């Protein structure tokens, strides 16, 4: 029976483990964080492909129960006055859920069939004809048949197996920060967005309005602050947004007490191949479309479904399965990445005049002929794959 190591316990990794366990594989997930990570921004699923995967996993009901229920989002000026409103379908799709809530559902669904190793990471990979010897930062070395990197934009597995990050990550010139705050505006299944030149701040209700998420985006080249230097990241965010109006100062003050502060650059991952030998990549590690695309989580869940299904259909032959995985998913992933191209400039125009012009456009949008065009494009992209049916693969031997 194939023994598979997955790096990353957020969304893509546990989703893959769910399917692999169903097909009879033995799975282990290693995660650098010391435990399950809560928090994070809202992610959405839209269209038949996304919902079909959730339904076939048997978790659609749980996801719908935990949905944010977010409706239309309002653009406001520095005084909090509503300038325009954008429809829910553009932001929330069919089902929107907090990343942490989705991760919790997936962890609960897999903890009985998957070994979780928290507080550790892969130090090296030594592949031979029969498998991969994996050295860990803290645990003793172990042997696995296959290794899957589902460890995000800054994938450790990708670095070890394919090379330095800069060869594959395309920076979009934007940074973002997301964290939990009290719902002091009393938002009811909605959110407010405030935009200035090259910057965007927002807050939206979460968990049935009992709390909220603050999200900041700003145009910026790469910074020299380390990805784990939270104090340095919060200093940069404060320097950019302090005194800019609306609720920014209050949100920055609440940031100091947030238990789940997240800060990173916005980028895409472009690779010619997602596998090398017995190692393959999944989700953002292989084909991140950027958080601005609104497609990353749905793409990762579809990718997990396809990768596991192809491994089962090939009875564990990774050479056949990895090639089929990329053949089936390649065009779909490319389409999702196109959604991220150009969004940065649209979200954060670089002058107050452009901000005012865009807000004016949004105010008129409900009365324009193409008012639903953006949402239709997003839905068409999300539905741009014919999902294979791997139901028969569950009965095939995997060794």
Residue 86 banded pLDDT, cuts 50, 70, 90: confident
Crossing angle of helices 230-241 and 248-255, rounded to 10°:
170
C-alpha to C-alpha distance for 159 and 168, rounded to whole angstroms: 10
Helices (H), the chain: 12-22, 47-57, 60-65, 88-92, 99-110, 156-162, 230-241, 248-255, 284-287, 296-313, 318-340, 343-347, 352-364, 373-382
Are 110 and 14 in contact by the 8 Å Cβ rule? The answer is yes
Residue 364, in any domain of the structure: no
Residue closest to 14 by CA, chosen among 106, 100, 129 = 106
C-alpha to C-alpha distance for 194 and 77, rounded to whole angstroms: 6
pLDDT for the residue numbered 70? 77
Residue 263, in any domain of the structure: yes
Residue 169, in any domain of the structure: yes
| Beta bridge pairs of residue 266 | 174
* Mean pLDDT (whole number) for 354-370: 55
Compute the mean pLDDT over every residue in the chain, rounded to the nearest whole number.
Answer: 87
What is the CB neighbour count within 10 angstroms for residue 88?
Answer: 18
* Lowest-confidence region among 11-25, 194-208, 374-388: 374-388
pLDDT for the residue numbered 371? 45
Residue 387 has pLDDT above 80, yes or no: yes
Residue closest to 176 by CA, chosen among 264, 105, 278 = 264
pLDDT for the residue numbered 292? 77
pLDDT for the residue numbered 363? 57
pLDDT for the residue numbered 10? 92
Cβ-in-10-Å burial (0-12, 13-18, 19+) of 346 comes to: exposed
Residue 267 has pLDDT above 50, yes or no: yes
Give the pTM.
Answer: 0.89
Percentage above 70 pLDDT, the chain: 85
CATH number assigned to the domain comprising residue 326? 3.50.50.60
Q: Count up the domains in the chain and report the number.
A: 1
Are 29 and 9 in contact by the 8 Å Cβ rule? The answer is yes
Pairing state between β 73-76 and 42-45: unpaired
Residue 355, in any domain of the structure: no
* Mean pLDDT (whole number) for 278-289: 97
* Mean pLDDT (whole number) for 91-118: 89
Q: Residues 23-34: pLDDT tens digits?
A: 999 999 999 998
* Mean pLDDT (whole number) for 268-279: 97
Q: The domain containing residue 197 runs over which residues?
A: 3-348+375-395
* Lowest-confidence region among 225-229, 296-300, 309-313: 225-229
Residue 330, in any domain of the structure: yes
* Mean pLDDT (whole number) for 131-142: 97
* Mean pLDDT (whole number) for 290-312: 91
How far is C-alpha 326 from the chain's CA centre? Answer: 19
- CB-based contacts of 364: which residues, under 8 Å, 6+ apart? none
* Lowest-confidence region among 149-153, 155-159, 174-178, 289-293: 289-293
Residue 201, in any domain of the structure: yes
C-alpha to C-alpha distance for 224 and 90, rounded to whole angstroms: 34
Q: What is the DSSP string of 299-367?
A: HHHHHHHHHHHHHHHTTT-HHHHHHHHHHHHHHHHHHHHHHHTTHHHHHS-SSHHHHHHHHHHHHHGGG
Are 83 and 359 in contact by the 8 Å Cβ rule? The answer is yes
> Which of the pair, 360 or 170, is modelled with greater confidence?
170
How far is C-alpha 383 from the chain's CA centre? Answer: 18
Burial 362-385 (b: 16+ CB within 10 A, else e): beebeeeeeeeebbeebbebbbeb
Residue 302, in any domain of the structure: yes
């Amino acid at each position: 029976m194939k023994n598979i190591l997955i790096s990353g316990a957020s969304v893509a990794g546990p989703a893959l483990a769910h399917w692999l366990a169903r097909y009879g594989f033995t799975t282990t997930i290693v995660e650098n964080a010391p435990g399950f990570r809560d928090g994070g921004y809202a992610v959405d699923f839209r269209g038949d492909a996304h919902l079909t995967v959730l339904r076939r996993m048997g978790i659609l009901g749980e996801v719908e129960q935990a949905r944010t229920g977010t409706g239309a989002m309002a653009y406001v000026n520095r005084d909090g006055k509503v300038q325009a409103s954008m429809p829910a379908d553009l932001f929330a799709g069919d089902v929107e859920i907090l990343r942490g809530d989705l991760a919790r559902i997936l962890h609960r669904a897999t903890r009985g069939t998957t070994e979780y190793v928290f507080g550790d990471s892969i130090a090296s990979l030594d592949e031979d004809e029969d498998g991969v010897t994996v050295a860990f930062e803290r645990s003793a070395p172990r042997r696995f048949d296959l290794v899957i990197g589902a460890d995000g934009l800054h994938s450790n597995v990708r670095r070890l197996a394919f090379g330095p990050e800069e060869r594959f990550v395309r920076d979009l010139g934007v940074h973002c920060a997301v964290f939990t705050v009290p719902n002091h505006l009393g938002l009811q299944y909605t959110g407010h967005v405030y935009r200035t030149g090259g910057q965007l701040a927002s807050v939206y209700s979460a968990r049935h309005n009992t709390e909220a998420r603050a999200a900041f985006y700003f145009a910026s080249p790469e910074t020299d602050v380390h990805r784990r230097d939270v104090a340095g990241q919060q200093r940069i965010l404060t320097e950019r947004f302090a005194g800019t109006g609306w609720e920014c100062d209050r949100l920055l003050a609440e940031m100091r007490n947030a238990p789940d502060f997240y800060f990173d650059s916005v980028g895409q991952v472009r690779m010619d191949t997602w596998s090398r030998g017995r190692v393959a990549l999944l989700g953002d590690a292989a084909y991140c479309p950027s958080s601005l695309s609104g497609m990353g989580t749905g793409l990762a869940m579809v990718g997990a479904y396809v990768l596991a299904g192809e491994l089962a259909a090939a009875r564990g032959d990774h050479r056949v399965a990895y090639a089929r995985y990329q053949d089936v998913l390649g065009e779909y992933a490319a389409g999702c990445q196109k959604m991220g191209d150009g969004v940065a400039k649209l979200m954060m125009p670089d002058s107050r005049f452009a901000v005012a012009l865009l807000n004016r456009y949004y105010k008129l949008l409900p009365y324009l002929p193409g008012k639903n065009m953006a949402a239709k494009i997003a839905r068409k992209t999300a539905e741009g794959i014919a999902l294979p049916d791997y139901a028969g693969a569950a009965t095939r031997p995997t060794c």
